[in-house]
Chain A
């Protein structure tokens, strides 16, 4: 008897181990369980939409429209609850991975539920606004899923086994060396070096972060200026130029890191605020329907 349980348990641990080894992420969680559920739901909606005869034509106000609308609104609120759920550590049945998996796939099914709820009647009004916001939230989420699946590898390659602070520390080290090496330089030559030292590696707006292009990079400018400079201590200057180019490489790595992180994070700045805009617009949509009943 005891051996029976023993075997069963070992089998469970075996499965768990296989999962661990394959690193089953939230996308393939439990053999795409939520993808199947969500796909089935979409199919059900599409087929029933075609079969159900609503007079005079499909719209949100038919019984079918109300049903889809109620399901959709409930889903939106539940999906929003992920933001709360992820901050709560639990060890019970619903792991955060399961929750995330359901969030992603049920969120995608909302495209069908929400759009079919409209009966394809769109216009310039709060009802369509709610739909547009919902679609933007879903699209931004879809972007998030895609970058989560693709960018971490690039991020890891770029880091080259350095931590973020190590990247920054490298720049600091080059700065210190630059400072020391530039001491013999003439005031004309020290100005660009000083500008390079004064440059904040985290400067630049959201555009620079996302594109990774820093047109007014002082280190690059210093490199150009010193390479062109004549007179003074040429040996010291050559050393500074060498250090500057090393600093630029370190800066490039840091900036690439920042860019990848920005690409990984930017969708949340759309996803989260628009979700709350959506909930507000959804409330207006629902209240308006009952207000002008």
Chain B
């Protein structure tokens, strides 16, 4: 029996060369040191690692010496008994020791199985030197990211839409399609931001008006009456010819099934939080500039005049005018010589003169009323509580300071004729003449003896008693005088003389509360301007029939177009978009304006006069409630209901 050390080396061509070497002695030592029987140049092997012995020439005992064991069949041990006929594989560091039997000899095969070092291992140059070895593959990442995007932002939102398809209102919480929100909703619609389907009902179908009208019904219906009643074809025909860009957009819209003329075309959403933006002039001018010709060509003739810009292209105002006494109110272009019959007689020129009777009377009331040296407009014309409009003139409040209706004083109380009640005036005067005797002459009083002859014609008795006798019939003369030229009523009113079956009648007074129905004018916003600056005709107006509403020319003294365009020289220009005066939705209210653009009210409140400073009670004493209330008849203004 002997140990044979077998070494296998491989040539460069891959051929194996086997060399056998008999080992002397019964005990074989194995280690890194050169003195060992089997010398293994392996740093992982101890200098004296193990001894290999065989007692019977068949069984081999391997014993580790320096405490560092070895592996046999994958287990780490210090000692192993091996039947060489069965064979075994032992591992020392990076080497393998295979024990086998050939004939009588025990073959010890030593091979290096591990690489000398890590760097000696074969590498794939392209992979090892690039990032491919340490990064996940680009293709892999591309798929992962791409699918993630598709799931989160395409499939998720579509699923969210699908799952609430038949639901009226979505529950709160996160819905995947909110990732599609292209911008914050306006404050009015902010609550809908999680419920895309409240407007976007059908996929690939543009938002329809139906979605808007679903909520905007009844009092919430905010559509302009003028525009709502117009057929869509007419609205579309009114639009200006499209430019290049709009043709592109129209092309997009047509190709991708986006009908035109819907609410959302003007009321654009997803344009940022806060209120919807104020309507720029362009929205109006897009249609109204040159619209009448376009509508005529399209077969929808219109009465509407073209308007493009307040500074340069705006039709003349058409105030409501009563062209004859008792006639209907008609919107009439503001030209020279337009008359408006409101039933009153009032020469503005006489009242506004700096000298003359009126001025002197006003001056004599200084201190008692707020009069100056002469009458001013605001002495008679009062503005509403909100300052927007001028109140209709009321006799008791605005005229009676001078035009007193007093006719008698009883115990310090002045009795006045009742304004607005001609029959009562007649009755009062009749009663006055019936109940009150003429003033008794002094000669008729006392204890003085009366001399005969005093009853003769022309003497005091005769005069007095004759007067007493006819006194009641004088009433008719007084009534006639009051209602006739030079009388208190006649001065201001148109009087109808008694006919068969009627008494004296006064023509009803109809003061138009708002001349310009389509535009909004706020007197309060203009209070720094003198009345006559705009109502230029007033100081020279001789008759109440003169229409004193200012025209476009007066407005354009200050107001220019949205972009500052103007036809005349303007000192302090106020840029005026359409929406400054015109309310698209025609609800009769003030045009909406963003808070930042609103005119601030800076006038001191103390400038306002007490409300009833000029109340008629100062003249006549406290009257019975409603005694002098004037019934104000509002003109029936149909146009506001049919499309103002």
What residues make up the interface of A, taking CB atoms closer than 8 Å to B?
Answer: 52-57, 59-64, 66-67, 121, 123-127, 129, 164-165, 168, 171-172, 175-176, 178-180, 182-183, 185, 187, 190, 193-194, 197-202, 204-206, 209, 257-258, 261-262, 265-266, 268-269, 272-277, 279-281, 283-285, 287-293
Contacts and interface: CB of A to CB of B under 8 A. Distances in A.
A179 B196 CA distance: 72
Given A126-B157, A194-B44, 4 more contacts: A63-B249, A193-B43, A269-B141, A281-B153
The 9 closest A-B pairs by CB, nearest first: A63-B249, A277-B145, A280-B149, A273-B141, A197-B117, A175-B117, A276-B142, A292-B200, A284-B153
Interface in B267-294: 268, 271-272, 277, 280, 282-283
Contacts of B181: 123, 125
29 contacts: A54-B245, A61-B182, A62-B249, A63-B246, A63-B249, A63-B252, A121-B183, A123-B184, A126-B179, A127-B182, A129-B153, A183-B32, A187-B66, A197-B43, A201-B119, A202-B123, A204-B134, A209-B131, A265-B130, A272-B142, A273-B138, A273-B145, A276-B143, A281-B153, A284-B150, A285-B153, A291-B180, A293-B206, A293-B258
Nearest to B145: A277
Interface centre among B121, B143, B157, B245, by most chain A C-beta atoms within 10 angstroms, is B245
A179 B145 contact: no
B549 to A, nearest CB: 34
B380 interface: no
Interface centre among A179, A268, A284, by most chain B C-beta atoms within 10 angstroms, is A284
B145 A55 contact: no
A67 B248 contact: yes
Interface centre among B141, B147, B182, B200, by most chain A C-beta atoms within 10 angstroms, is B182
B476 interface: no
A265 B131 contact: yes
Given A123-B183, A276-B145, A292-B200, A175 B116 contact: yes
A205 B46 CA distance: 34
B203 interface: yes
A273 B135 CA distance: 12
Contact of A262 (B131, B153, B200): B131
Given A55-B282, A279-B146, A206 B120 contact: no
B248 A293 contact: no
Interface centre among B43, B207, B249, B283, by most chain A C-beta atoms within 10 angstroms, is B43
Given A190-B43, A287-B154, A269 B119 contact: no
B154 A66 contact: no
A291 B154 CA distance: 10
Contact of A275 (B142, B248, B257, B282): B142
B182 A125 contact: yes
A253 to B, nearest CB: 13
B41 interface: yes
Contact of A200 (B119, B148, B177, B252): B119
B476 to A, nearest CB: 74
Contacts of A64: 245
Contacts of B125: 164-165
A199 B117 CA distance: 8
Nearest to A176: B116
Contacts of A180: 41
A280 B150 CA distance: 6
Interface string B232-255: 000000000000011011001000
Given A66-B248, A205-B134, A290-B256, A284 B184 contact: no
A200 B204 contact: no
B637 interface: no
Given A56-B277, A272-B138, A183 B182 contact: no
B120 A280 contact: no
Interface in B600-617: none
Contact of B204 (A121, A178, A190, A291): A291
Contacts of A292: 177, 180, 196, 200, 203
Interface in B108-166: 116-121, 123, 125, 128-131, 133-135, 138, 141-150, 153-154, 157-158, 161
Contacts of B145: 273-274, 276-277, 280
B150 A268 contact: no
Nearest to A171: B119
Contacts of B568: none
A209 B46 CA distance: 36
Given A56-B268, A206-B131, A275-B142, A172 B120 contact: yes
Contacts of B141: 269, 272-273
A291 B177 CA distance: 11
A293 B118 contact: no
A172 B117 contact: yes
A178 B119 CA distance: 12
B68 interface: yes
A66 B252 contact: yes
B205 interface: yes
B55 to A, nearest CB: 30
B280 to A, nearest CB: 6
Contacts of B207: 293
Nearest to A128: B182
B134 A179 contact: no
Nearest to B265: A55
B78 to A, nearest CB: 16
Contacts of A193: 43
A56 B119 contact: no
Contacts of A199: 117-119
Interface in B201-219: 203-207
Interface centre among B41, B130, B145, B246, by most chain A C-beta atoms within 10 angstroms, is B145
Interface centre among A52, A205, A275, A287, by most chain B C-beta atoms within 10 angstroms, is A287
Interface centre among B131, B144, B204, B271, by most chain A C-beta atoms within 10 angstroms, is B131
Contacts of B205: 293
Given A164-B129, A273-B144, A183 B150 contact: no
A117 B73 CA distance: 70
Given A52-B245, A273-B144, A60 B182 contact: yes
A291 B157 CA distance: 10
Contacts of A280: 145-150, 153-154
Nearest to B120: A172
A265 B207 CA distance: 48
Contacts of A273: 138, 141-142, 144-145
A204 B46 CA distance: 30
A123 B138 CA distance: 29
B188 to A, nearest CB: 15
A187 B68 contact: yes
A194 B116 CA distance: 10
Contact of A63 (B117, B158, B248): B248
B135 A206 contact: yes
Nearest to B197: A292
A123 B185 CA distance: 12
